[in-house]
Amino acid sequence: MSELRTLVIFGAGGDLTRRLLLPGLATCLAAGVPERGITLVGSGTDEREDFAAVVREAFAAELGEEQLALPAVRHTLDSARWITADATDPEHLAALLDQVDGPLGLYFALPPSVTMTSCEALSRVHDSGRLPQDTVLVLEKPFGTDLDSARELNALLAGFVPEERIFRVDHFLGLPGVLGFVGLRFANRILEPLWNRDHIERIEIVFDEVLGLEGRAGFYEATGAARDMIQSHLLQVMALVMMDPPTRFDGVEIPANTAHVLRAARLWSRGAAGDGSVDDGSSGKSADGDARSLAGLPDGTPAVVRGRYTAGTVDGRTMPSYVDEDGVDPARETETFAQVVVEVDSWRWNGVPVVLRTGKAIGLPRQEIAVVFRRPPHDYEQFPSSGPQPPDVLRVGFEDERIDLELNAGGPFDSRGMTRTVLSTELPEPGLTAYGSVLRWVLEDKTAFTVRGDGAEEGWRILAQIAEAYASGQVPLQDYEAGSAGPASAGLAG
């Protein structure tokens, strides 16, 4: 594919563009991608004469004076303009395409239902012969609104755009810790031989945050924690962490391998009533004969937990109860906390619990990937100790890219007995934001960290299992105080 010359953002008047896309593009351009810059076009149904000024303000907030003077940055700032158009109208779309130079990328910073309608209109533009052949589509999460709509959208796109020109965006795959995890695992011989059910007890992927609703009731009431974070982000991170080694790090192997992980994923074995509880072992055993219990978590930990924060104090500020926030309908029972336990039922991972957790208004938030290794097979009772030795744990922070390896040390010949040591390091701060990485991939035609069509569908399939557990009546919506660790039944060891 030829290098893109123009990037059109549909819905460019929204918060996503101002808060994330424009700063991300600024860091991308400052890194020299592309060297000549990009022509930036914002589009929406309203008139926006201030778009160029909004772009300049966003770039100035992210870059220093020296970076703002770079030719690529200057070209983009000078070319930024607004075209008023209805992205769901074929004639409007065709008229917009006539006003821009290709090759071009179309970024859908729109709600999923509007994106679907817009793609239908774009299909009609294609049928009329007015869609340039090298056009790239960049589709923001969530991809569809459920499994059926995701399938429908995939089928629609396949009718007029090749898969290699479709970027299904998940900016979590551009977070420093996630990108660094790939090299940590595959560029070292220490970890990969251990990366299986024989050596790993469980995996925790956690994104708790101190933020509450922050005035986003219009968005959050229609989504909730599981749909917003687990379906859209944490499942994709899980797939990247647990995929088989690719033969090539490209846009064929990595999306295929991550899609295979998601295809094998399901909620941890539930009770016969489908009540979201963890199997107590009476209904089956894992492949190695062990009872199917959650390693390292308290007995009785449910496979699905949901909660909603009440009033409290978080990070020194008072936060009202979620149900008292403007725009919230308490009867919707929107969850602000969701924790699920998933199993990837494959040869490599069968029997390994994977905890996916996200919560708002959490007092001491974790935002990390934690890999908990199995304990040694021999119980060294003669080691001076206050109790069973904890397992080794590898932790990688999502955004700070902190890497911690927690190990046991000392022993019977050490006067201190057994001790716990942590090998810790932080990598250099990345030059790109997560969205900067996403846009770099788009502009350089690198599809390795995009979501394949069937991968997006599998995420919705797993979310449907979570929704089924909610609807069963056996997964109550639990209150937890803002500033606490979340619902008590979550039981995550940390």
Which amino acids are annotated catalytic?
233
The sign of the dihedral angle between the CA atoms of 260, 264, 267, 268 is negative
CA dihedral 92, 95, 96, 101 (to 10 degrees): 160
Q: How far lies 334's CA from each of 96, 322, 328, in Å?
A: 39, 9, 9
DSSP class of residue 48 equals -
H-assigned helices in 110-194: 112-127, 147-158, 176-186
Specify the amino acid at residue 391: P
Selection from 121, 190, 97 nearest residue 394 by Cα:
190
Radius of gyration of the chain (CA): 24
Selection from 331, 353, 350, 328 nearest residue 340 by Cα:
353
Cα-Cα end-to-end distance for the chain: 45
Between CA 248 and CA 472 the distance in angstroms is: 43
Between CA 298 and CA 294 the distance in angstroms is: 8
H-assigned helices in 31-146: 51-62, 65-68, 71-79, 90-98, 112-127
DSSP class of residue 164 equals G
| Structural element, H or E, at residue 457 | helix 453-471
Between CA 255 and CA 390 the distance in angstroms is: 35
Where residue 295 falls (left for φ over 0; alpha for ψ -120 to 50; beta otherwise) is: beta
8 A C-beta contact, residue 487 and residue 307: yes
| Structural element, H or E, at residue 26 | helix 22-30
| Strand 136-139, strand 104-108: pairing | parallel
CA 113 to chain centroid, in Å, comes to 20
Q: What φ, ψ does residue 70 adopt, rounded to 5°? A: -65, 145
With tokens 């107590």, the residue in question is 280
Between CA 386 and CA 329 the distance in angstroms is: 49
